[in-house]
Amino acid sequence: MADLSTNFLGIKSPNPFWLASAPPTDKQYNVERAFEAGWGGVVWKTLGEEGPPVVNVNGPRYGAIWGPDRRLMGLNNIELITDRDLEVNLREIEAVKKKWPDRAMIVSIMVPCEEDPWQKILKRVEETGADGVELNFGCPHGMSERGMGSAVGQVPEYIEMVARWCKKHSSMPVIVKLTPNITDVRFPARAAKAGGADAVSLINTISSIVSVDLDSFSPSPSIDGKGSHGGYCGPAVKPIALNMVAEIARDPQTAGLPISGIGGISTWRDAAEYIALGCGTVQVCTAAMTYGFKIVQEMTEGLSNYMDEKGFATIEDFRGLAVPNVTDWQYLNLNYVTKARIDQDLCIKCGRCHIACEDTSHQAITHMKDGVRHFEVIDEECVGCNLCVNVCPVDDCITMETISGTDPRTGKPIDPNYGNWTEHPNNPMARADAAD
Amino acid sequence: MTGTSKPGIQAARLPADRLTDNFTDLHAPLTKHEAFIEADRCYFCYDAPCINACPTGIDIPMFIRQISADNPNGAAKTIFNENIMGGMCARVCPTETLCEQACVREAAEGKPVKIGLLQRYATDHLMETTSAHPYTREAETGKHVAVVGAGPAGLSCAHRLAMKGHTVTVFEAKEKSGGLNEFGIAAYKTTEDFAQDEVAFILDIGGITIENGKALGRDIMLDQLARDFDAVFLGFGLPDVNALGLSGEDAKGCEDAVDYIARLRQTDDLASLPVGRNIVVIGGGMTAIDIATQTKLLGAETVTICYRRGPEQMNASPYEQDVARTHGVTIRHWLQPQSLRHGEDGSVSAITLEYTSLDGGKLTGTGETLTLEADQVFKAIGQSPEDSPLSGVDLSLERGRIKVGDDRKSSHTKIWAGGDCIHGGEDLTVAAVEDGKVAAEDIHRALMA
């Protein structure tokens, strides 16, 4: 059995699966149920400053997109930070941590962008015995209009400033949670590091309108005929999150900065992909909100099974293995030539590969041969784009084959050596270099 | 309940609630959610094989995609564009030998997309939720076309002609329109008077008048129609039922399946239908399956279909045979009727059948026989044309049926024909609808030339 335990910034948990700061971690009852189910840790739902708590809408808080069988693909919410009394939350955090000492207890916090409120809340959190804090610089709705959440996360200077305050006023590990609602995620990550933050977690939710009601013409969820953008999460956002994680993991300025990965993690495989891109832990919310806490048992079992099969004894054994393989386009090997291959025994003759290629790409797949419905790749036209593979409904029916010798499309010999754009004769920069 | 059923031919073999249960929809319609899931299974194939397998050429992937996009009325319009009886065809088409057999998922996993049920979902939705007819007529052409027969072929032709702006008069021998949709289809395939709803839906386009009780050769004459109208479409079906050619065939208990099915379809009270305890059905087509299954559902103790050839030669599809077997019907092959036995009161008591074999393509009796007890014997061995209604006009016939070309035009310059009365017809509602549509297009071309 692989060892799933993690040590993230000195915070230990029996497995890398934490529940993200969100409705499932808003109170003792839920969190204890999560720990009973097997979750390795939680990030307690964001606490605000002392005083009357925030107020949520009393109409619907969630919108969603679904597959045809109503499988939830993406979830959007307009819920704010905790609307429970600060003292109640702190008491419960302390009680849970005492009762479950082996689980990670991180507390998410968000207070106005001044040093004093941060100092105050950090002191209170530290008194609970919590393992660390996560700074919520990501929430894209409601709180951002009050100068908090993503309003901070979108200004690297603020991130650096607040992170520095937190390190100054607390001995707890500090995780900065990043918003994806920016143009280049490396800048806020660099700012977090510069401010002394111990780690980043990402992504928070993406600003979104999930749908428009075509009878009432209100965005949904509709609150008395009006809607507001919400934060989008769930399986649909995973590709966006993976890229942002990879950008930070391979940025020389932030390389090695611990990352807690968040975004659409629903199965062990999703988690393993985040870990391969360098994440030390992963955080889950939507999948738990869709199916309940029991899903963690599939995740731990599946991850353990994968690690056993691959011979990875610990998470560290494969963490970050994909990072060196993420590169810029210009370094991709242009001498790597592939052609699509259609397995005629598996082909069910739906013709989707043909029409996709014919209408939208390179006219490289037949639909007829000797008067019979037949789908076959025309190597002279195939650029190896892989579109046919992606639209084919049959597993492994179309595969990409690497070829050598002469490319039938160009009629030119394929250079067996690696060669990229930076040195390609068509690259004006390369031509200029050659002229020098 | 008792362990044995009454001998002879008896009404009300089953309590009323059981009968009602037995004759509800064979396949429950899809709910909206079920339709979404099923529609998601469609791959939207290029040059989709299902379209080519549909006799009316419905753009099946498009209508399924419209269902997926929550546009069921648009889907219905896609269907009606090619087949105005898409609602009935969704219920009665042997989809397992047509579109669903061609579905690539049939090849892939043996589970085709349920095209028939999706078609029903869309067409029912339009017919139940909209009152306006989906088509408007083109400007009146001043041309007047006679259609003989208000069955699938005739009504399909009439609708397409009306759409093109022609005026249509339909002559129907029976007092009720619909043809085999009304009188011939098994009751559990078309419940709740759907056939009449569909007739009303078709007539909603306007420009069509139906004259019921007008039989060709009795009340109207073909030569007269050809003189009085700009064109004539014949779609009167096959009126005569083939005889077994056995002595005593007119005895009580020896019945014509087509007539019995018609009575069953028209009755308000299924318990009033007398049905035998032991039933033998002679035939191998859809009518044999329909009469066998329905008499079993009416409470017959044993129902046996006897067909003179093997399972592969049966006109009824393997799927239809399965439906019958599931309902408790026994299907026996290689048996041909030899003689009827009669009881003291003169009614049928048993039937003796001779085993057959194929000998170099020729079917011969082996001399060995089998006798089955039967208080009811149903003849379901096909309908044959009567030629008398065609007298007075020179029409080319082939084995008693009207010869037509690809455009469904007969040898007469003003007469087109389709459905069961033409040679080469497929004996399917959907094929009749296509005949009517193709003929209407050709009539339109001819009239506007």
B99 min Cα distance to partner chain A (Å): 14
Both tokens assigned to B379: 């003849």
* Tokens (6 digits) for B353: 């059948």
Q: At A182, is the pLDDT very low, low, confident or very high (cuts 50, 70, 90)? A: very high
More confident: B407 or B266: B407
- With b for 16 or more beta-carbon neighbours within 10 A and e for fewer, the A116-150 pattern comes to ebbeebbebbbebebbbbbbbbbbbbbbbeeebbb
- Where does the pLDDT of residue B388 fall: very low under 50, low under 70, confident under 90, or very high at 90 and above? low
Helix (H, G, I), strand (E, B) or coil at A291: helix
Query: Which of B389, B351, B358 is CA-nearest to residue B372?
Result: B351
Give CA angle at A147 (A142, A149), nearest 5°: 60
Tell whether A129 lies on the interface with B, counting CB pairs under 8 A.
no
Plot region of B81 (φ>0 → left; ψ -120 to 50 → alpha; else → beta):
alpha
Instruction: Say which residue the tokens 């459905």 belong to.
Output: B419
H-helix or E-strand spanning residue B296: helix B286-297
pLDDT per position as a tens digit, A62-109: 999 999 899 999 999 999 999 999 999 999 999 999 999 999 999 999
Q: Looking at chain A, which residue has its C-alpha nearest residue B34?
A: A69
Q: Which of A39-53, B184-198, B316-330 has the lowest mean pLDDT?
A: B184-198
Answer whether the bond into residue A221 is a cis peptide, omega within 30°. yes
pLDDT-based confidence at B246, cuts 50/70/90? confident
In the prediction, which pLDDT does A430 show? 78
CA distance A55 to A46: 14
Residue B137 has pLDDT above 80, yes or no: yes
Question: Quick check: B40 and A68 CB within 8 A?
Answer: yes
Q: At what angle do helices A115-127 and A156-169 cross, to 10 degrees?
A: 50
**C-alpha span between B346 and A164 (Å, rounded):** 109
Does A52 touch chain B if contact means CB atoms closer than 8 Å? no
CA distance A267 to A323: 21
* Cβ within 8 Å, pair B104-A349: yes
Do A129 and A44 touch, CB atoms closer than 8 A? Answer: no
For chain B, say whether A434 makes contact (Cβ under 8 Å).
no
Average pLDDT over residues A3-15: 97
Question: Quick check: B186 and B316 in contact, CB under 8 A?
Answer: no
Please give the Cα distance from B46 to B56 (Å, whole number): 18
Residue B189's pLDDT band, with cuts at 50, 70 and 90, is confident
- Note the pLDDT tens digit of each residue in B229-239: 999 999 988 87
Residues of A in contact with B64 (CB under 8 A): none
Closest CA of chain A from B131, distance in Å: 21
Neighbouring residues of B295: CB distance < 8 A, sequence distance ≥ 6: B260, B275, B276, B279, B281, B303, B376, B378
Q: What is the pLDDT of residues B164-184, one digit of tens each?
A: 999 999 999 988 988 888 777
Helix (H, G, I), strand (E, B), or coil: what is residue A302?
A: helix
Per-residue tokens: B132: 């306006």
Whether residue B4 has pLDDT greater than 70:
no
Predicted pLDDT of residue A139:
78
Yes or no, beta carbons of A348 and B36 under 8 Å apart: no
Query: Would you call B45 and A351 a contact, using CB atoms and an 8 Å cutoff?
Result: yes
**Comparing C-alpha atoms, which of A302, A300, A298, A287 is closest to residue A5?**
A300
In Å, how far is A388's CA from the nearest CA of chain B? 13
CB-based contact (8 Å) between B68 and chain A? yes
Per-residue model confidence (pLDDT) at position B386: 63
Whether residues A349 and B107 touch (CB distance < 8 A) is answered with yes
For the ranges A126-130, A410-414, B276-280, B443-447, which has the lowest average pLDDT? B276-280
B223-240 as b/e, with b when 16 or more CB fall inside 10 Å? eebbeebbbbbbbbbbbe
Q: How many helices (H) and strands (E) does chain A have?
A: 13, 22
CB spacing of B39 vs A68 below 8 angstroms = yes
Residue B296: name the closest of B255, B254, B327 by CA: B327
Rounded-to-integer distance, Cα B348 and Cα B375, Å: 5
Residue B171, SS3 per DSSP? strand
Give chain B's end-to-end CA distance (angstroms, integer): 69
Distances (CA, A) of A78 to A145, A211, A221, A222: 13, 14, 9, 11
pLDDT at A146 (0 to 100): 79
What span, in angstroms and rounded, lies between the C-alpha atoms of A427 and A422? 7
Contacts by residues B71-78 (CB-CB < 8 Å, ≥ 24 positions apart) = B72/B35, B72/B121, B72/B122, B72/B125, B72/B126, B73/B122, B73/B125, B73/B126, B73/B129, B73/B130, B73/B134, B75/B118, B75/B122, B75/B125, B76/B122, B76/B123, B76/B125, B76/B126, B76/B127, B76/B134, B77/B126, B77/B134, B78/B122
pTM exceeds cut of 0.80 = yes
**Is A96:A28 a contact under the CB 8 Å cutoff?**
yes
Task: Give B303's strand partners.
Answer: B279
Q: Which residues of A are catalytic?
A: 139
Question: Which of B45, B70, B101 to probe by mutation at the A interface, max A CB count within 10 Å?
Answer: B45
- Asked whether the beta carbons of A51 and A41 are under 8 A apart, the reply is no
Q: Mean pLDDT throughout B387-406?
A: 82
Q: How far apart (Å, rounded) are the C-alpha atoms in residues B94 and B315?
A: 11
Please state whether beta strands A279-284 and A17-19 pair in parallel, antiparallel, or not at all (unpaired): parallel
Taking the mean position of all CA atoms in its chain, how far away is CA B420?
10
Q: Is B36 on the interface with A (CB under 8 A)?
A: yes
- What is the C-alpha to C-alpha distance for residues B320 and B93, in angstroms, rounded to an integer? 11
CA dihedral sign of residues B309, B314, B315, B320: positive
Contact criterion met (CB below 8 Å) for B144 and B170: no
What are the φ/ψ torsions at residue A106 (nearest 5 degrees)?
A: -105, 145
The mean pLDDT value of chain A amounts to 95
Q: Can you give the pLDDT at residue B259?
A: 86
Q: Which residue has the tokens 């951002």?
A: A144
| Vertex A104 angle, CA A64 and A297, to 5° | 55
**pLDDT level of residue B255 (50, 70, 90 thresholds):** confident
**pLDDT attached to residue B2:** 54
DSSP percent split of chain A into helix, strand, coil, nearest 5? 35, 20, 45
The Cα–Cα gap between A154 and A150 comes to 6
Pairing between β-strand B335-342 and β-strand B383-384 as defined by DSSP bridges: unpaired
Q: How many residues does chain A have?
A: 436
Q: How many residues does chain B have?
A: 449
Find tokens 């609708």 and name the residue.
Answer: B159
Q: Give the pairing type, strands B397-398 and B401-402.
A: antiparallel
CA distances for A288 relative to A270, A285, A298, A344, angstroms: 14, 5, 12, 41
Sequence letter at residue A292: G
Contact B49 A349 (CB under 8 A): yes
Sign of CA dihedral A70, A72, A77, A81: positive
Interface confidence (ipTM) of the complex: 0.85
Report yes or no: B265 and B294 within 8 Å, Cβ to Cβ: no
Helix (H, G, I), strand (E, B) or coil at A122: helix
**Residue A429 contacts B, CB cutoff 8 Å:** no
Question: pLDDT tens digits for B73-106?
Answer: 999 999 999 999 999 999 989 899 899 999 999 9
pLDDT at position B1 = 47
* Residues 105 through 134 of chain B touching chain A, CB cutoff 8 Å: 105, 107-108
State whether residue A349 sits within 8 Å of chain B by CB. yes
Mean pLDDT of B367-386: 85
Which string of DSSP letters, residue by residue, matches B350-376?
A: EEEEEEEEEETTEEEEEEEEEEEE-SE
Report the gap between the CA of A350 and the closest CA in chain B (Å): 5
User: To 10 degrees, what angle do helices B286-297 and B318-326 make?
Assistant: 10
As a whole number of Å, the CA-based R_g of chain A is: 25
Residue A66 parent element (H or E):
strand A62-66
- Cβ–Cβ under 8 Å, residues B191 and B84: no
